[in-house]
């Protein structure tokens, strides 16, 4: 079990780069205990793979939510605005 700081030192990256990889969903987030991340060796291997450039194998699956039925996409709102002018 490792902390983000331990993992950063192990892979040769800064703490902030490792934290941002988790925070912005670039790498699947590890177990959290309270406010702290607890990383396993598998999580560290995933980070190593991500920072070495093979990012397709590390990223979590994308979650896409459809727009609610009563909302339109920004493109259709722009078209409606152009017609009203």
Considering the domain boundaries, does residue 69 fall inside one?
A: no
Tell me whether residue 82 is in a domain.
Answer: no
Q: Residue 34 and residue 65: Cα distance in Å, rounded?
A: 28
In a domain, 77, yes or no: no
Is residue 42 a part of any domain in this protein? yes
Instruction: Please determine, for residue 85, whether its predicted confidence score (pLDDT) is greater than 80.
Output: no
pTM: 0.60
> Residues 6 or more apart from 79 whose CB is under 8 A from it?
none
Let me know if residue 76 belongs to a domain. no
Q: Is there a domain that residue 79 lies in?
A: no
The answer to whether residue 62 is domain-embedded is no
Look at residue 62 in the predicted model and tell me its pLDDT: 52
Range of the domain at 20: 4-57
> Are 38 and 30 spatial neighbours (Cβ–Cβ below 8 Å)?
yes
Average pLDDT value for residue range 34-51: 89
How many domains is the chain built from? 1
């Amino acid at each position: 079990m490792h902390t983000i700081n331990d993992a950063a030192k192990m892979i040769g990256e800064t703490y902030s780069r490792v934290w941002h990889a988790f925070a912005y969903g670039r790498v699947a987030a590890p177990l959290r205990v309270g406010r702290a991340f607890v990383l396993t060796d598998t999580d560290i291997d995933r980070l190593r793979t991500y920072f070495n450039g093979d990012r397709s194998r590390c990223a979590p699956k994308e979650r896409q939510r459809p727009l609610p039925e009563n909302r339109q996409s920004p493109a259709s709102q722009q078209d409606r605005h152009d017609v009203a002018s």
